[in-house]
Each structure stands twice: as C-alpha cells, then as structure tokens.
Structure 1
Amino acid sequence: MSNQRFSQRSIIQRTFGSTHGYITRLMSPSDLGQIVKPFVFLDIFSLNLRDGNPLDNMPLHPHSGIATITVITEGKVHYDDPHSGSGSLTYGGVEWSCAGGGMWHGKELSVNTGVPYIQGFQLWIALPREVENGLSESHYIEAKNMHRTGPAFIILGSYEGVQSPVPAPKGMNYLLVTLSAGEIWTYQPPLGHSVAWLAVATGQLSTGEDSLVNAGEMVIFEQGETPLTLKTSGNEKVIFVLGSAVPHPYTLHLGNYSVHTSAQALKSGEQRISELGKNLREAERKKTALGIIPVFR
C-alpha cells in the first residue's frame, strides 16, 4: 500500500472548537453545521473519572427534528432502558436516539467508577422532512453487534456492502475508524455523497502531502466525490470519525435544542417538547438502580 497516492481534495474549514469542562463543541447548527448538513452538531467528550462523575451534572434537556448518535472511542458506559434492556457500550458501541417530534434525555447513560477515562463523540443529524416530527425512538447497540469493514465500524449507513444496524435515514454514512501506525486507508464516498468531514480523537492523521489533522480537531473537505486517502502520522494509532452524505436540501430552522426544515415544523416540535416537559417528574420516577433516567418521550 505504500505506493498509494494521496488525493488532493482540499480542506476548506478546520477547528478545535470550544471546550467547556469535559465537552469540546466542534460544530453547531448555526456555524459549521450549515456547511455539512445533514450533520449539524458534533461534540467530543473526555471524562476523567478519578475526580468524580461529571455526568451527574448533566441536566435533562429536550430535542426535536434531529437524531443524536453517541459513539464510544475509549472506556465504558452503561445503559438500562425498559424497551432496550441493559448492557454496556465500549469502543464502537452506539446510542441512537431519534428525537422525531420530541424527547427529553441527558441521564440515560451511567459510568462505572472502576473505569478511569471515557471518550467519545456525540453527533446530531437533521432529519428529513417526512420524519422530523415523527415518532421518537432509541436503540443501544453494543460493539459486538455493530458491523465493520476493514478498520471501520459502520455507525450509520452502508459502506463496501456492509450495512449499519442503526435505523438512520438514507443518504449518509458515519464511520468510526482506527488505523495502526503507518497504515493507509482510502474512503470512496458513495454516489451523491459530496459532503465530507472528519474529526480525530487520538493521534495525528495525514490527509495529503502537507496536511495534518491533530487529536481534537475537525476538518471539512471541499464538496465532491473524490476518494479520501488517509494515513497515520507518527508512531501511534489514530482513532477518528468520518462522515459523508448527500447534502441536506432544506434551510435549517433552529430552536434552542431543535433543528427543523420549516418554521411550522419547528413550532410543532417545540410545542411537543414543552408538553413533555410538564411531565418530567414522571421521567424521574422511572430512574433505575444505576441512577439512569431513560429517554422520556
């Protein structure tokens, strides 16, 4: 593979985002999400549990019009849901929460103090018009049940004939990739996937002869369907996520926690989450022995 040539697909935006506590916000719907929609929001979280559990301070909060995808890159978190059962998410494990017309969440995962460090990404995608005010649902898929091809877990979509078990809308791929030191890997976007970006969790990645992406950094590529040839830089493995998609054709209509395709759809979503918010005590009564409050819908 050493004779593989690097593509010259340019990086048009790069960011280390802004960090508050254990969360770094790399993208929001009001900034870079406008460029790579349907991908509209990306956080990378890094929890050092030696000094307590920062998830205890995560408040319940609402969403509509989007789906959130949480993927673990290091460590372990636990879930306990009356509809999905209980278990653990480790590297490659996924929480998929499709807000649809409305949900509240924020305390549906817990950590074990025996695990010193947890890292992962949370991504939002803007839902298509036909489902943005539809049913809300959640799935917890452990790493052993996720599908992969080569070095990549297929978190959303389909790649090289491998389909993700996550019931996401068509027209988008989201991959979690680990490359060993010196490894080269090429991603060929599916037909129509002219949107592309990646974000590095650990290590340093080369995307071209003079272009490096560092840990904690997100980059956006120019639109097109040219393959992305990526190589580790240095003597350590690189863990990163990569997204590609058919562009979202709608203007984003934004609420505090909602993203919709029209003002009317946003109004409907916010009405629904307001109605749910009046019954949050019911959600808190469903707290499990692990301190988990399942997604409330």
Structure 2
Amino acid sequence: MKKQINFSTEGSLTSVGPLTISRVLPNRYAEKVGPFVFLDYVAPALKPHIDKRGMGAHPHRGIATLTYILQGEVEHFDSRGHRAKIHSGGAQWMKAGNGIVHDENFNYDREMDSRYIQGFQFWINLPAKNKAEEPAHVAVQAEEVPRKTLQSERGWIKVVVGQYEGLSSKIPDYAEQFLYHIHLEAGKYFSLSLAEGMEVAAFLTEGTVNLNGADAKAGELVVFDRHAGDIDISNTSGTAIDLLLFGGEEYKEPVVARGPFVLNSAKEIDLAYQDYHSGKYGSIEQGSYNY
C-alpha cells in the first residue's frame, strides 16, 4: 500500500543579506512534520558577497537546530563556547535546551573551491523532558555522514538524521526521527516503507519527480499521511536530482511557538523571554567571530 499525499505547497520567499530564503515550514497547511517544526531552504547563490560578522546573533530555547549545507561552508558560534565550521555536504546540530544565543556565518566553500551557497536549516522540537537540559553542539563533516549506494547505479542515500538499513547518524535522537538525502540518476527510482503513525515530507531542490503517482517540481514540499505504507520516488527529469525526505513519529505534546522559542505552554514562552532579556543565555564573545 502506498502512503497518500495530504498536500503540496511552495515556500514563501524572503531575503537575508545576499541570500534568497524559502520558508517551507510552517505553512498554511501544517505547523510541523513529526518533530520538525521549521524549515528554511537557502536557494543556490553564486559567490555572494558577505561582508558582516555572522547572520545576526539570536536566542533559542526548547528545540534543536540543524543546518545541512549542500554547497558552501557554515561557521557556528554560540554563547556556551561552541565553535565549528562545516563544509559542503556537512551538518551541524545544536540543542538549545534551556537557552542559548547563537550565530552562523554562511559563505562559499573556499576550502573545497565551491562557487555556491545552498542548504537547509531545520528546527527539531524536543520532548518536554529534554527542553530544560543544558545546550550541546555536534558538527558532522561530509565524510562522516553515513551513505549507501543504491543498486543498479540508481544513485545513493545519505542518513543525515536517524537510521536506515544499518546506517546511523551521529546526530542525537530524542524521538524517532529521520532526515534522508536521496540522489537519483535520470530515470531512476527509489522506494521506502514507513510504519504506522510516521509523518513524512519530501522536498525537491531541482528538476521534477513523481511521488506515488503525483508529479512534483523543484521547490515543492509534499506531505504524506500517517498511515503505514510505501513512498515510491521516480526521477522524471532528464538529469540527476536531489530530494530530502524527513519526518518521524507524531509530536503529541502541546506546542507553543513564539519567535525563536518552541515550548509547551504560553507561560514557558514568557519565562523564556524573561530569562533571555535578563542575560541568562549569555552572549557570544567578541573574539569568536572571524573578521
């Protein structure tokens, strides 16, 4: 049995400095997919001129942020002293926990001579019991992301978050969740079976694809139902395509989101702002940034 498609939609566009951002999740149809409550897609930008320190320091609480960079490099700084740089194909995860201030600096990948910036930022909602934990950070370089070659030269799958057929990501799990990057050659296909109750969405970065009999194009988010079933992906483009498949078990606790905070009640949101404005999250040291 195939999973049914609930809806498809395109993101709303905005600009952050020289970068064009598509806000894909939340949208008018859905607030979340599994534990994923936010998704921004950074469309390909050719060697943009970034002349300031970072993209703007800001707080978070109650979530984990996940940046997955397809092309370029991302440098991370935060108020708990974590600092790391990832390159094309890498990911970095930050558990905001009970409060943190962070910033990221996107640039083209000078080390790997990439000419573009392209990538994603997700927010992953934490279970209530983990929202009050201390912040943490994990950087995963491209060669550390588990990858499996598909049979018959169809392409490959990378496990950015979660597990797949014996592969396991270094990024921590607090609930059943996954983020797969699937690369399919022209005219090839891939099929995945999901258990009952699993929420899942697909996002295509280029070309066209057929998902369980329905056509989708680049920039579309396609969200499926929660019933057990298969997702059949067929590359209908004349060239190779890249598609993200992400989701997990339904988040059943209350969700209250305001600004950069995602918690379980309005009272907790108010406290998050009070703690931030009173300086409890700390600040990023001046010397942390590159000039």
Same fold (TM over 0.5): yes
Q: Give the deviation of 1:155 after TM superposition.
A: 1.2
- Contact (CA 8 Å) 1:205, 1:212: kept in 2 or not? yes
Which position in structure 1 is the counterpart of 2:212? Answer: 208
Q: Which shows bigger deviation, 258-267 or 243-252? A: 258-267
Q: How does 1:1-297 map to 2 (within 5 A)?
A: 8-21=2-15, 22-28=20-26, 31-53=28-50, 58-73=55-70, 75-79=71-75, 86-91=84-89, 93-112=90-109, 115-150=114-149, 151-189=156-194, 191-209=195-213, 211-276=214-279, 279-280=282-283, 283-288=284-289, 290-291=290-291
Give secondary structure in 2 for the equivalent of 1:227: strand
User: Residues 12 and 152 from structure 1, CA distance in 2 versus in 1: closer, same or farther, beyond 3 angstroms?
Assistant: same
Kindly state the Cα deviation for residue 144 of structure 1 after the two structures are TM-superposed.
0.5
Shift of 1:271: 3.1
What is the alpha-carbon distance in structure 1 between the residues aligned to residue 104 and residue 61 of structure 2? Answer: 17
Query: Secondary structure of 1:188's match?
Result: strand
Q: Root-mean-square deviation (CA), in Å? A: 2.6
Q: Structure 1 residues 101, 204: CA separation in 2 closer, same or farther (over 3 Å shift)?
A: same
**8 Å contact kept, 2:101–2:282:** no
3-state SS of 1:271 partner: helix
On the 8 A contact 2:208/2:217 being kept in 1, the answer is yes
Q: CA deviation at 1:269?
A: 3.0
Distance 1:121 1:66, change over 3 A: same
Question: Judging changes above 3 Å, is the alpha-carbon distance between structure 1 residues 149 and 115 closer, same or farther for their aligned structure 2 residues?
Answer: closer
Report the residue type matching 2:3 in the other structure.
Answer: R
Contact 1:84–1:139 (8 Å) recurs in 2? no
Aligned AA for 1:286?
Answer: G
Query: Which 10-residue stretch deviates more, 267-276 or 173-182?
Result: 267-276
> Where is the strand percentage greater, Structure 1 or Structure 2?
2
Report % sequence identity.
23
Q: Which runs of 5+ in 2 are unaligned?
A: 150-155
Give the aligned residue type for 1:285.
Q
Equivalent position SS for 1:244:
strand
Pairwise CA distance, 1:103: 1.4
Question: Aligned in 2, Cα 1:217/1:54: closer, same or farther, shift over 3 Å?
Answer: farther
Equivalent-residue separation in structure 1 for 2:118 and 2:48 (angstroms): 16
* Partner Cα distance (1:163, 1:57) in 2: 31
Instruction: Give how far 1:245 is off.
Output: 0.9
Counterpart contact for 2:208–2:216, Cα < 8 Å = yes
Equivalent position SS for 1:69:
strand
One-letter code aligned to 2:128: R
Query: Helix, strand or coil: the match of 1:130?
Result: helix
The residue type equivalent to 1:77 in the other structure is: E
Give the counterpart letter for 1:261 in structure 2: N
Structure 1 pair 48/144, CA: closer, same or farther in 2 (3 Å)? same
Residue-pair matches, total: 277
Give yes or no for contact 1:193–1:244 (8 Å, CA) kept in 2.
Answer: no
Structure 2 counterpart of 1:231, one-letter code: S
Distance 1:55 1:204 in 2: 36
